[in-house]
């Protein structure tokens, strides 16, 4: 009989402060605003070497690195049809279907491969990055991975991914 195990990490430094706005299907958007996001990760896998699912010392730097890459950035959805993003000199120019126009230093903007910058889509993005980096660096894949992104205390979204067998 195989026993089921998981690891769960939610360190105080698994956080990022970022700005964003959601884009709605009708072309409107919410106002530009920010959150102090917190991240929690739970990974299931068979128990492995040294009687561990995955070493905490290996997963913590991965989650921290991803959080740090999002920190102090304007997060934009690169896969949303209701936004136009162009780089002009060192500026990122953003136009939405409701005719809003923004210009930011390109170094302050991060375009993500997601359809919107909701907590749900950010959780899925974090999950895909954790999955990619654990495979690249450790040739390891969780059987399932759950990532929770908290926008404000008591308000979060959870993305759950099961690896293909």
Q: Is residue 135 part of a domain?
A: yes
- Mean pLDDT, the chain, rounded, equals 95
Q: Which domain holds residue 77?
A: 6-19+34-81+115-162
Give the pLDDT of residue 2: 63
Residue 165 has pLDDT above 80, yes or no: no
Give the pLDDT of residue 116: 98
Confidence of residue 68 (pLDDT cuts 50, 70, 90): very high
Q: Is residue 49 part of a domain?
A: yes
Contact call for residues 27 and 97 (beta carbons, < 8 A): yes
Q: Is residue 139 part of a domain?
A: yes
What phi-psi label fits residue 37: left (phi over 0), alpha (psi between -120 and 50 degrees) or beta? Answer: beta
The CATH number that applies at residue 158 is: 3.30.479.10
> What is the tally of structural domains in the chain?
1
Give the pLDDT of residue 164: 80
What are the tokens at 14?
């698994």
């Amino acid at each position: 009989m195989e026993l089921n195990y998981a690891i769960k990490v939610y360190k105080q430094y698994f956080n990022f402060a970022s700005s964003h706005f959601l884009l709605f299907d009708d072309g409107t958007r919410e106002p530009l605003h920010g959150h102090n996001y917190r991240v929690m990760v739970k990974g299931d896998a068979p128990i492995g070497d040294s009687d561990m699912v995955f070493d905490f010392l290996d997963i913590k730097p991965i989650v921290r690195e991803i959080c740090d890459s999002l920190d102090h950035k304007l997060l934009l959805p690169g896969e949303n049809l209701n936004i136009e993003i162009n780089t002009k000199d060192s500026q990122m120019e953003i136009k939405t279907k409701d005719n809003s126009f923004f210009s930011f230093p390109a170094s302050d903007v991060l375009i993500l491969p997601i359809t919107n910058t909701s907590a749900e889509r950010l959780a899925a993005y974090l999950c895909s990055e954790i999955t990619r980096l654990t495979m690249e660096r450790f040739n390891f894949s969780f059987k399932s991975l759950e990532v929770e992104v908290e926008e404000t205390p008591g308000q979060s979204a959870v993305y759950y991914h099961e690896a293909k067998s």
